[in-house]
């Protein structure tokens, strides 16, 4: 049950776009379209930002988008804003279990 692989950190300037990758295996990310992404600010509970690879829950900005190719899912944030600075986690269904990525710290410069 290894965690999905994410970069430890990414950064970008306000207005720019960044992409966070999430690499799993053919047993999780590659086999199901049940990848979701979560944003977590310090001391707060996580918040669902993307589900089923690319769908946004009501109320989530359309600056957030998701995609998947093979065993790798990606989260893209366009038009970076200061409030996007947070930790981001991918998450995948994997039949009898579910798996988070190790998390990526996004710094808005």
Whole-number minimum distance, CB 48 to other proteins, in Å?
A: 5
Q: Does 1 bind other proteins (CB under 8 A)?
A: yes
- Three-class SS state of 82: helix
With binding defined as CB under 8 A, does residue 64 bind other proteins? no
* Closest separation in Å from C-beta 5 to other proteins: 12
Nearest CA among 4, 6, 51, 8 for reference residue 29: 4
66 interacts with other proteins by CB under 8 A:
no
Q: Min. distance of Cβ 27 from other proteins in angstroms?
A: 14
CB 80 within 8 A of CB 69: no
Contacts of 25 (CB under 8 A, 6+ apart): 71
First to last CA, the chain: 34
Q: Does 59 bind other proteins (CB under 8 A)?
A: no
Positions touching other proteins (CB under 8 A) are 1, 3, 34, 36, 38, 40, 45-48, 50-52, 55, 57, 87, 89, 91, 93, 96-103
């Amino acid at each position: 049950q290894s965690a999905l692989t994410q970069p430890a950190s990414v950064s970008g300037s306000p207005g720019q776009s960044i992409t966070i990758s999430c690499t799993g295996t053919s047993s999780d990310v590659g086999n199901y379209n049940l990848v979701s992404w979560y944003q977590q600010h310090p001391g707060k509970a996580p918040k669902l930002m993307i589900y089923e690879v690319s769908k946004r829950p009501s109320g989530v900005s359309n600056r957030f988008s998701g995609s998947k190719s093979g065993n790798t899912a990606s989260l893209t944030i366009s038009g970076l804003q200061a409030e996007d600075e947070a930790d981001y986690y991918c998450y995948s269904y994997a039949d009898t279990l579910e798996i988070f990525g190790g998390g990526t710290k996004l710094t808005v410069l």
